Amino acid sequence: MARPESKNEQSDLASMRVVLALPDSDWADELIQAFLRAGFVPHRTPSAETAALAVGYRAPIAVLVDGDLLDTAGFQLLDAFRRQSGGTPVVVVAPESASQLRLKALLWGADDCIALPCIPAEAVLRVRRLLETKKNLARLESAKRTAEEQCEGNRADLRSLREDLRRNAILLQRAVEFHRRLSPNGDRVALEAQLLRHLSVETGIDRLAYLTTRHSDASWLVAQSSWGLPRRLADQLRIPATGELATLLKAGGVPLVADRVRLHPSLRLELGILAAGGFKACLPVLLKNELLAVVLLGESKTGGTPTEETLRLAHFLVSAMGPTLAAQERWARERHITAGTLGFLVATLESRSPFLTGHSARVASWAESFGLELGMSQDELSTLTAAAVLHDIGRFQIDPALWSKMGPLEDADWGHIRRHPVEGARILAEASWPTQILSAVRHHHERWDGNGYPFGLAGSSIPWDARILSVADAMDALTSDRPNRAAISPDEALRRLRPESGIQFDPSVVDAAGRVVEAGAFAA
Ligand SMILES: [Fe+2]
């Protein structure tokens, strides 16, 4: 009894099935034997029609048809096979003399024709070659499809890369423009405010805050600058400088979206603080792996968390803030050194006159006290004192004899002297000093009532630093010996200044001067 075929064996046998439509003949028997010997599983049918049926239920890998069996239905069968893409190959055998039949068979769809007589092994070999060719064609077709799919994938990748490149080029252009608008040659707080203002324009987010440590307390990141945030909220906004959130931002260096980390228990308190301020995301400002600041982002234009695209843009723009701050610090250091050098020069020139010796240094000292009393930041005080040290630098362009002239000055003398604020601003402008210092120097002789010089500015149109310098200058003039009078005490000087509050001087600065003098910091 024959052993049942295993599944693999069935599969192997199925892969070798051939249908042979052959008439009864010795040659046909030999041919079947040859196919058997070659490992095929031949199924013999007596006609083209039965061959067609056998193809239907046996699914052979090839069909061999004797030409004598090809009637009209047989040729239609060939045609049907031809129309099948990747269909079963068909071989027709016909006598050598039946060339027209062989040609017709090829035209109707036969894959090969074998002229008889031929030895059975040749027919088997031709069928095997045909199968190999079909298999190779199928492989080529599959490889072609794979290559086309890869090509399409590559084209899609290329399109995506091009789009990324285009977007990055736009981002880069925007970043260049963005940072061109940020000026490192100024006050740090002003730079931070500039950043937030431009960031709001670029992203459409109308609530932003810039958190960094204060000189007086490095343990908290507090809102030094804010945009679209009520002052009372900004004053309460703070996160620990070495807390979980700051550590996460420093380590990650990427935007952090509050909604995505809310469940993190160690962050709950800090994120709660941000949520109370209406903030949705935060960005680190890093320089050489140091966290310099944190920028907080409020809701997007349409409400809710800013989109990935907005976060990407904001991160791209904020990421260059670190180098800008470093440049600002370098510039501030250089400015400090230059101010020291110029201050020394001013002091040396002043020392030629007994009435001017130490004047600018003392004005700087008064101005700093007033600025502190008025709540100015360290950066603002730094700018103010630099302006104070340099406020009269323009006088060295004027005839030195005029400054120590005894007795009343002629009109022509005053004309000369009144040029010194403009001359001073011009000298500093040539050395590229910041606008804030130039304007303080240029306008330190303006009066609150508009009767000062050089331009007769009045009230709040006079630069803030110039208003402080004006009071500081007057305080030093009154508390120092002059060619035509002796120095008076700060208390007495203040008594003389008070009537000029709101006339010559800004009342708020005179009030601050009053508090400073009353505190006794400048007591004789
Ligand atoms: Fe002056």
- Return the number of other C-beta atoms located less than 10 Å from residue 393's C-beta: 23
Residue that is last in its domain, among 138, 153, 180: 138
Residue 71, token pair as written in the block: 């009637």
The DSSP bridge partners found for residue 461 are none
Residues 200 and 130 in one domain: no
Distance CA 171, CA 314 (A): 10
**Gap from CA of 117 to ligand 1 centroid (Å):** 125
Distance CA 196, CA 194 (A): 6
Query: Is 218 inside a domain boundary?
Result: yes
**Gap from CA of 523 to ligand 1 centroid (Å):** 24
Residues 360 and 415 in one domain: yes
Q: What is the CATH number of the domain that holds 412?
A: 1.10.3210.10
Q: What is the CA 240 to chain-centroid distance, rounded?
A: 26
Q: What are phi and psi of 448, to 5 degrees?
A: -60, -35
CB 395 within 8 A of CB 402: no
**Gap from CA of 210 to ligand 1 centroid (Å):** 38
pLDDT of residue 9: 46
Burial classification of residue 520, based on how many CB atoms lie within 10 Å of its CB (0-12 exposed, 13-18 middle, 19 or more buried): exposed
Q: What is the CATH number of the domain that holds 62?
A: 3.40.50.2300
**Gap from CA of 367 to ligand 1 centroid (Å):** 14
Distance CA 403, CA 363 (A): 17
Residues 114 and 207 in one domain: no
Query: Is 268 inside a domain boundary?
Result: yes
**Gap from CA of 406 to ligand 1 centroid (Å):** 18
**Gap from CA of 391 to ligand 1 centroid (Å):** 6
Residues flanking ion ligand 1, Cβ below 5 Å: 392
Residue that is last in its domain, among 315, 345, 364: 315
**Gap from CA of 469 to ligand 1 centroid (Å):** 9
Residue 205's SS3 state is: coil
Residues 365 and 268 in one domain: no
**Gap from CA of 336 to ligand 1 centroid (Å):** 22
Burial classification of residue 433, based on how many CB atoms lie within 10 Å of its CB (0-12 exposed, 13-18 middle, 19 or more buried): buried
Residues 271 and 354 in one domain: no
Residues 349 and 464 in one domain: yes
Residues 74 and 204 in one domain: no
**Gap from CA of 476 to ligand 1 centroid (Å):** 11
- Predicted confidence pLDDT, tens digits, the chain (524 residues): 444 445 554 455 557 888 888 888 888 899 999 999 999 999 998 887 888 778 778 778 888 888 888 877 778 777 777 666 457 888 898 888 888 888 888 888 888 898 888 888 888 998 899 888 888 888 999 999 999 999 999 999 999 999 888 887 887 787 777 777 776 666 677 788 888 888 898 888 989 999 988 766 788 898 888 899 888 888 888 888 888 888 888 888 888 888 777 666 677 778 888 888 889 999 998 888 888 899 999 998 888 888 888 888 888 888 878 888 888 788 778 877 877 787 788 888 777 777 778 889 999 999 999 999 999 887 788 889 999 999 988 887 777 676 666 666 677 777 888 889 999 999 888 877 888 899 999 999 999 999 999 999 999 999 999 999 999 999 999 998 876 778 899 999 999 999 999 999 999 999 999 999 988 766 54
Residue 331, token pair as written in the block: 């510039």
Residues 198 and 125 in one domain: no
Query: Is 183 inside a domain boundary?
Result: no
For the chain, how many helices (H) and strands (E)? 22, 11
Query: Is 134 inside a domain boundary?
Result: yes
**Gap from CA of 369 to ligand 1 centroid (Å):** 19
Q: DSSP states of 274-297 as a string?
A: HHHTT--EEEEEEETTEEEEEEEE
DSSP-derived secondary structure letter, 208: E
Boundaries of domain holding 372: 326-518
Query: Is 524 inside a domain boundary?
Result: no
Residues 392 and 475 in one domain: yes
**Gap from CA of 478 to ligand 1 centroid (Å):** 14
Residues 370 and 499 in one domain: yes
Residues 311 and 330 in one domain: no
**Gap from CA of 485 to ligand 1 centroid (Å):** 18
**Gap from CA of 383 to ligand 1 centroid (Å):** 17
For the chain, the domain total comes to 3
Residues 385 and 265 in one domain: no
CB 51 within 8 A of CB 21: yes
**Gap from CA of 221 to ligand 1 centroid (Å):** 40
**Gap from CA of 392 to ligand 1 centroid (Å):** 5
Residue that is last in its domain, among 138, 157, 177: 138
Query: Is 130 inside a domain boundary?
Result: yes
The DSSP bridge partners found for residue 501 are 505
Q: What is the CATH number of the domain that holds 254?
A: 3.30.450.40
**Gap from CA of 377 to ligand 1 centroid (Å):** 25
364 closest CA partner among 391, 395, 385: 385
**Gap from CA of 441 to ligand 1 centroid (Å):** 8
Query: Is 165 inside a domain boundary?
Result: no
**Gap from CA of 388 to ligand 1 centroid (Å):** 10
Residue 375's SS3 state is: coil
**Gap from CA of 344 to ligand 1 centroid (Å):** 17
**Gap from CA of 465 to ligand 1 centroid (Å):** 14
Spatial neighbors of 269 by CB under 8 A, at least 6 apart, are none
Please tell me whether the overall predicted TM-score, pTM, comes out greater than 0.85 for this model: no
Distance CA 280, CA 271 (A): 9
pLDDT of residue 5: 45
Query: Is 62 inside a domain boundary?
Result: yes
**Gap from CA of 380 to ligand 1 centroid (Å):** 21
Residue 211's SS3 state is: strand
Peptide bond into 46 cis (omega under 30): no
